[in-house]
């Protein structure tokens, strides 16, 4: 299967999970993330704001804001994003895709110590398929030294996903059942 077929199949599987099942699995996944040394040691965490059935990140941010600095992506006019600090989830505004993001800050965002990466499908080598826009691959290109963690339901982890030269892998994949060190 090519990336588009895998993406379509994985999105269908994710959408088939009930809201209750997503919440139950998300709680287990977030607990595993919080137990990881790379999370415990990180002071600045770039994370995504979950939507459309992704592993839920909002409760994690709400619980840790004030103890860790969170950054969220803010889309630009082109095909990239800026990272912006988050001081409160209540101040976020929806972007053109309906995803909450922070306002543009005059303060330059610090470099993250940990990057929590979204995705649609993953394999055990850390390869990922996102939504197809390449935002994260471009952003991660010069951050090879920063640990990258993907949060995924077990249904999203496959034996293999196609990898292109520009694709940036993750270091860990956390599901409700396991932590995969890639």
Range picked from 4-8, 39-43, 130-134 for highest mean pLDDT: 39-43
Residue 78 has pLDDT above 80, yes or no: no
- pLDDT (average), residues 99-103: 90
Residue in the block written with tokens 């691959």? 137
Supply the mean pLDDT for the chain: 93
What residues make up the domain containing 29?
Answer: 3-181
Our CA angle for 82, 8, 10, nearest 5°, is 85
95 pLDDT band, cuts 50/70/90, is: confident
| Total domains in the fold of the chain | 1
Give the list of residues 6+ apart from residue 114 with CB closer than 8 angstroms, or none: 38, 39, 42, 44, 45, 46, 146, 147, 148, 149
pTM for the full predicted model: 0.93
Q: Give the model confidence (pLDDT) of 40-64 as tens digits.
A: 999 999 999 999 899 999 999 999 9
CATH code, domain carrying 69: 3.40.50.10420
């Amino acid at each position: 299967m090519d990336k588009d077929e895998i993406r379509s199949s994985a999105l269908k599987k994710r959408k088939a999970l009930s809201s209750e099942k997503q919440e139950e699995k998300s709680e287990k996944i977030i607990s595993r993330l919080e137990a990881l040394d790379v999370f415990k040691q990180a002071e600045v965490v770039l994370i995504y704001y979950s939507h459309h059935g992704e592993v839920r990140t909002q409760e994690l941010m709400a619980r840790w804001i004030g103890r860790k600095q969170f950054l969220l992506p803010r889309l630009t006019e082109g095909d990239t994003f800026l990272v912006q600090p988050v001081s409160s989830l209540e101040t976020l505004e929806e972007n053109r895709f309906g995803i909450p993001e922070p306002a543009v800050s005059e303060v330059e965002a610090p470099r993250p110590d940990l990057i929590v990466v979204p995705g649609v499908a993953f394999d055990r080598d850390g390869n990922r398929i996102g939504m197809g826009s390449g935002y994260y691959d471009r952003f991660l290109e010069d951050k090879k030294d920063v640990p990258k963690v993907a949060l995924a339901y077990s249904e999203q982890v496959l034996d293999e996903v196609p990898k292109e030269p520009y694709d940036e892998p993750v270091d860990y994949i956390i599901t409700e059942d396991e932590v995969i060190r890639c």
